[in-house]
Structure 1
Amino acid sequence: MATFIDPLIAFVSAHAWLAYLTLFLAALLEAVPVIGSVVPGSTVILALSALVPSGDLKLAWVVLAAIAGAVLGDGSAFWIGHRAQREILGTWPLSNYPRVIAQSEAFFKKWGTWAVFFARFVPPIRAFVPVTAGALDMAPARFYAVNIPAILLWAPAHVLPGVLAISALHRYGGIPHHVSLKPYWMIAVIVGALIAALVTWAIRRRQNGAVTPVAGRVTGQG
């Protein structure tokens, strides 16, 4: 992974516009079924956020790029599922991932509408839940009412750990701002991974003790 991320950071640090485009694409592709389960979108976002404290990237634009990519990715997957309906879950390439599709459907049976919110923080079903929501005929208004707030929380949760970790190194670790952060971006990734792991653990713990909601909550009925 480092052999891929290190040259990416070195290159985009000299081309800010390309860094924002990379962030946008990382968030978008992470939301695409199948592709999102293999693309290290979260790692890319965490790594590039390490460039904010040095001034190479602007925090607001980093967060906005991540939000825009996630909204477009989730929204596109949802509408594909919404138009194709349940048939798409059994077609290629989704048919090659029956276990993840089953997990996505089980998520809905357990959480109802809130599955869209919680799944954004739980890989790898994050990439499958939007298309599953559409395939199960979830109302578009209900989907976006839950999906967009989730993304507005997800983006800062992925960006800020990297920013704070590198800022702490600058302030308390004696690392000058002009020094290359190539050896330190992994710290940002580790911090972010720990936060993601805690969120995932909390969600799964609550899921195990939750009462199965009625099916009507998925489609907006009842």
Structure 2
Amino acid sequence: MNIHFLLGWTQQYALPLTFLVTLISRAGLPLPAAPLLVMVGALATASGEMALGLLLAATVGGALGDLVWFMAGRRLGRRVLGVICKVSLSADVCVRQSETLFVKWGGLSLFAAKFVPGISAVAPPLAGALGWSLPAFLRWNVAASIFWAVVFLGLGALFSNQLDLVLAVLEQLGEGAIWSLAALVVVYLIGRVIKRRHAAELSEEMPRISVAQLKAAIAAGTDPVIIDVRSAEGRSLDPRVIPGAYLIGLKEIDTATSILLQDRDVVLYCSCPNDVSAVAAAQQLRGMGWTRALPLAGGLEAWFEAELQS
């Protein structure tokens, strides 16, 4: 692999490559869109061409990728976040962080989300699920996409004079350096996937209680303790609660022991993908000896879907 051939190919197909990589990365796949923008920004400055075209390609690609997920969020609600978790390496962990951003910054959160790994994939569908209007989302997201593209293309232009130096170093190191770097990236991604799969297996092993079973227990008068483990930000974005639920966030779940009884079921729910917060809370309580702690399958969305159907 000749480094000059690789860069020449990148420069020749810079516009479609930039569009496709930004589009696919915004769809949730872990492609290096930001490093690519830095590279093509440097190449564009060195050749004195394509700067405006690259800005347009990066903006349109990123905005379209976000729009697809926004519309999915509008149509499917928070259930779409479960899909995001299947194509993103960290989406399920970042939902709570996205909720915090939306509460604190509103539309400006889309600017911050562009630069935070994981959150960038979660923010558009979450905005749709929270009921943002299409014009408001387009206005904020296009502005954020332009800003994101300008930052990384600008970094490439700023350091374009160092491009020859970088090329010289890579040539001295030889092809082995390029393959070694690629191998490190692959190893990192494989490690992340293995970690996620292990966490998913632990989650799947956790027994759950269905909405129908919970309703039956309530009707039978067994008085299960129901706990809403969402963060304060999550509850402010979606104020719905299951009647009679205690509001105890995941971070404070150890304080729930004061309201628990050993002969009563403990049902924990959230509104996050794969019930991840409820599962974590149930694991923590079980580790403290409360073996009847169970996450609610499907969480808050499943409860209110059942309410609409009844």
Would the TM-score normalized by the shorter structure come out above 0.5?
A: yes
Deviations 1:177-212 (A, max 9, x none): xx6963489xxxxxxxxxxxxxxxxxxxxxxxxxx7
In the alignment, the residues of structure 1 paired with residue 96 and residue 127 of structure 2 have an alpha-carbon distance, to the nearest angstrom, of 13
In the alignment, the residues of structure 1 paired with residue 48 and residue 115 of structure 2 have an alpha-carbon distance, to the nearest angstrom, of 27
In the alignment, the residues of structure 2 paired with residue 105 and residue 153 of structure 1 have an alpha-carbon distance, to the nearest angstrom, of 22
1:82 pairs with 2:67: no
Ranges in structure 2 where 5+ consecutive residues have no aligned partner: 171-232, 239-310
Q: Aligned with 1:22: secondary structure?
A: helix
Which amino acid in the other structure matches residue 68 of structure 2? Answer: S
Counterpart selection for 1:131 from 125, 142, 156: 125
Which amino acid in the other structure matches residue 71 of structure 1? Answer: A
Counterpart selection for 2:20 from 11, 20, 25: 25
Which amino acid in the other structure matches residue 12 of structure 1? Answer: T
Change over 3 Å in CA distance of 1:95–1:121 after alignment to 2: closer
Deviations 1:121-165 (A, max 9, x none): 322311221111112221111111211111222111110111121
Structure number with the higher strand fraction is 2
1:93 pairs with 2:93: no
Change over 3 Å in CA distance of 1:47–1:95 after alignment to 2: closer
Contact 2:27 2:121 survives alignment (8 Å): yes
Q: Aligned with 2:44: secondary structure?
A: coil
Contact 1:12 1:19 survives alignment (8 Å): yes
Tell me the equivalent position of 1:174: none
Contact 2:99 2:237 survives alignment (8 Å): no
Within-5 A mapping of 1:95-114: 97-114=91-108
In the alignment, the residues of structure 2 paired with residue 12 and residue 143 of structure 1 have an alpha-carbon distance, to the nearest angstrom, of 32
Q: Aligned with 1:86: secondary structure?
A: helix
CA RMSD of aligned residues (A): 3.1
Q: Aligned with 2:61: secondary structure?
A: helix
Tell me the equivalent position of 2:41: 49
Q: Aligned with 1:122: secondary structure?
A: coil
In the alignment, the residues of structure 2 paired with residue 184 and residue 29 of structure 1 have an alpha-carbon distance, to the nearest angstrom, of 31
1:11 pairs with 2:9: yes
Within-5 A mapping of 1:67-78: 67-78=59-70
1:182 pairs with 2:167: yes
Which amino acid in the other structure matches residue 167 of structure 2? Answer: K
Contact 1:88 1:94 survives alignment (8 Å): no
Contact 2:101 2:109 survives alignment (8 Å): yes
Change over 3 Å in CA distance of 1:132–1:183 after alignment to 2: farther
Deviations 1:87-126 (A, max 9, x none): 2123462697421222222322332332223212322311
Tell me the equivalent position of 2:144: 150
Q: Aligned with 2:31: secondary structure?
A: coil
Contact 1:116 1:133 survives alignment (8 Å): no
Contact 2:88 2:121 survives alignment (8 Å): no
Which amino acid in the other structure matches residue 100 of structure 2? Answer: A
Aligned-pair CA distance for 1:46? 0.8
Tell me the equivalent position of 1:176: none
Deviations 1:4-39 (A, max 9, x none): x986424223x2xx2111111122122113x1xx21
Which amino acid in the other structure matches residue 142 of structure 1? Answer: A
Aligned-pair CA distance for 1:85? 1.2
Which amino acid in the other structure matches residue 29 of structure 1? Answer: I
In the alignment, the residues of structure 2 paired with residue 69 and residue 184 of structure 1 have an alpha-carbon distance, to the nearest angstrom, of 32
Tell me the equivalent position of 1:163: 157
